[in-house]
Amino acid sequence: MTEEKNTAGWNFDNSYARLPEPFFTRMSLNPVRSPQVVLLNEPLAASLGLNAKELGGEYGAEVFAGNRVPEGAEPIAQAYAGHQFGHFTMLGDGRALLLGEQIAPNGERYDIQLKGSGKTPYSRRGDGRAALGPMLREFIISEAMTGLGIPTTRSLAVTATGEPIYRETELPGAVLTRVAASHLRVGTFQYAAQWCTADELRTLADYAIGRHYPEAASADNPYRAFLDAVIKRQAELIARWQLVGFIHGVMNTDNMAISGETIDYGPCAFMDAYDPATVFSSIDTGGRYAFGNQPHIAQWNLARFAETLLPLLHEVEEQAVKLAETAISKFADLYRNFWLAGMRAKLGMFNKEPEDEALIHDLLGLMQVHKADYTNTFLALTFDDTRPGVSALVETAAFGRWREQWQTRLGKQSEDWEASKALMRQKNPALIPRNHQVEEALDAAVNHGDLRVMESLHTAVADPFAHSPEQMTYASPAPPSACQYQTFCGT
């Protein structure tokens, strides 16, 4: 066993499994027939101190499919609750196992989770399994988010199980090995507030503070500092989603991480033409999680989080409610400031001018009216050229006038155009993982066993600010026939 640790590089600690009993269930494994690693994220493995060579082979397949417990791991399923589309319910890891926390060479602690690893006591309905396509999809989109510099859980490997799973049709099964700062969710706190003792809730909060917000521990009111810090991180996270046109698709409170990472890639997708009403998820019929609604929903989720902390915020309930309300009311300004700062940078602005916000909204308004591609509009401005999906916009007189106003605005700062252009290159990605390209890569991988399309896409999205000629081949929005793109839950 010691030999195994030395060669694969596992360095597990299991701090979550030392929390009080109600927070998890210890699990034995649900082995699968013939596991095979389909994709391994070698740079990520290296940064975790893991041996990619070892993990790409038979041993890795066994560990990643949940056939073998790696040295030092203590598999558990985590308990949590959550508001799903506004309705509160008990949830938990219904198809995932936390193997433990890998302590990386840089000293950081990362959850290693197997998603699609079989039934748990929290499964209720469902087979506890996942299909190859959606796991590859989470891999590519989470790695694209990493490339974009947006906090996110990551994908270490996708492992085919060699077993079919049954949805509308028979599909090949797979397990995703997910890496996260932690899997603590707003829903974990909702679970504690609803079903655990006051002491257990406090223990959970202290654990989260220790793991993600250690500076809050020394504040006058550590739980208030914790709440403020979570709100701030979420405000920044959502702003960064909005700046790249990312739509999470299922912002239930169980899918909001306390760490501030993007988590649970289900029916998510990137927007092509700018429209705040964009929804891709087939189950989001009311548009609750539409692009333009994401900041509002984040604030709603954070209000649910704040409610769970009331007993810790102040011993007098009325005071606690006041503290929570004050904290939540700051979200809108925090979000707006992160977003404005990001938009200014996308438009090459270094300083602040009073007209900036109106100028930005004017551009977005024009983009919406002319159905301009969001990503490519910013690229056309950066490189002063034309791009796929923007011609209907840039040919209008209104856009010409807007561009003049923008140039006048840039003239008010001391930096020259070259400096603005350099900033815009750093802030406007050359590409996003477009839905039709992701689908093409998934089709090749799942239906033809060809991983090359996926690997090329992975390489391209991993460094979106390179602005390399190869990346230009990924710049086109979907042809109009593919515009009714839909994503499906039950992934």
Residues serving a catalytic function are: 254
Q: Choose the binding region for ligand AMP from 53-61, 87-95, 218-226, 358-366 (rule: CB under 6 A).
A: 87-95
Binding-site member from 20, 31, 49, 94 for ligand AMP (CB under 6 A) = 94
Judged by CB, which is closer to Mg ion: 255, or 428?
A: 255
* Interface with Mg ion, residue 255, by CB under 5 A: yes
Start-to-end CA span in the chain (Å): 35
Q: Find out whether 339 and 242 touch, Cβ atoms under 8 Å.
A: yes
**Rounded Cα distance, 265 and 249, in Å:** 8
Q: Find out whether 265 and 142 touch, Cβ atoms under 8 Å.
A: yes
- Residues 6+ away with beta carbon under 8 Å from 6: none
* Residue 152 binding result from Mg ion, ligand AMP, none, given CB thresholds of 5 to 8 Å by partner type: none
Binding mask 370-399 for ligand AMP (x = CB under 6 A): ------------------------------
Judged by CB, which is closer to ligand AMP: 94, or 276?
A: 94
Judged by CB, which is closer to ligand AMP: 262, or 471?
A: 262
Residue recorded with tokens 């969001």: 374
Q: Choose the binding region for Mg ion from 107-115, 264-272, 333-341, 395-403 (rule: CB under 5 A).
A: 264-272
3-state secondary structure of 247: strand
**Rounded Cα distance, 100 and 102, in Å:** 6
- CA 319-323-329 angle, 5° bins: 140
The minimum distance between CB 167 and ligand AMP, in angstroms, equals 9
Residue list 109-148, contact with ligand AMP (CB under 6 A): 123, 126-129
250: which 2 tokens? Answer: 């299922």
By beta-carbon distance, which residue lies closest to ligand AMP? 126
What ranges make up the beta strands (E) of 214-311?
246-247, 269-270
Binding mask 237-276 for ligand AMP (x = CB under 6 A): -------------x---xx--------x-x----------
Binding-site member from 62, 93, 138, 284 for ligand AMP (CB under 6 A) = 93
Measure Cα distances from 161 to 62, 164, 371 in Å: 10, 8, 42
399: which 2 tokens? Answer: 């856009």
What ranges make up the beta strands (E) of 231-344?
246-247, 269-270
**Rounded Cα distance, 199 and 421, in Å:** 54
For 263, which DSSP code?
-
Q: Find out whether 320 and 306 touch, Cβ atoms under 8 Å.
A: no
By beta-carbon distance, which residue lies closest to Mg ion? 264
* Residue 430 binding result from Mg ion, ligand AMP, none, given CB thresholds of 5 to 8 Å by partner type: none
Residue recorded with tokens 């996003």: 432
Judged by CB, which is closer to ligand AMP: 254, or 272?
A: 254
Judged by CB, which is closer to Mg ion: 248, or 409?
A: 248
CB burial class (10 A; 0-12, 13-18, 19+) of residue 138?
buried
**Rounded Cα distance, 175 and 134, in Å:** 10
Binding-site member from 264, 272, 275, 373 for Mg ion (CB under 5 A) = 264
Size of interface with ligand AMP, in residues (CB under 6 A):
16
Where does 103-221 have alpha helices with state H? 132-147, 186-195, 198-212
Judged by CB, which is closer to ligand AMP: 74, or 93?
A: 93
Residue list 175-234, contact with ligand AMP (CB under 6 A): none
The minimum distance between CB 93 and ligand AMP, in angstroms, equals 5
What ranges make up the beta strands (E) of 218-308?
246-247, 269-270
User: CB 414: neighbour CB atoms within 10 A?
Assistant: 7
* Interface with ligand AMP, residue 161, by CB under 6 A: no
Binding mask 285-324 for Mg ion (x = CB under 5 A): ----------------------------------------
* Interface with ligand AMP, residue 30, by CB under 6 A: no
* Interface with Mg ion, residue 261, by CB under 5 A: no
The minimum distance between CB 126 and Mg ion, in angstroms, equals 12
**Residue 261: strand pairing partners:** none
**Rounded Cα distance, 363 and 348, in Å:** 14
The minimum distance between CB 297 and ligand AMP, in angstroms, equals 15
* Interface with ligand AMP, residue 92, by CB under 6 A: yes
3-state secondary structure of 405: helix
274: which 2 tokens? Answer: 């700018």
* Residue 127 binding result from Mg ion, ligand AMP, none, given CB thresholds of 5 to 8 Å by partner type: ligand AMP
Judged by CB, which is closer to ligand AMP: 89, or 468?
A: 89
The minimum distance between CB 14 and Mg ion, in angstroms, equals 22
Contacts to ligand AMP by CB under 6 A: 91-95, 123, 126-129, 250, 254-255, 264, 266, 489
Contacts to Mg ion by CB under 5 A: 254-255, 264
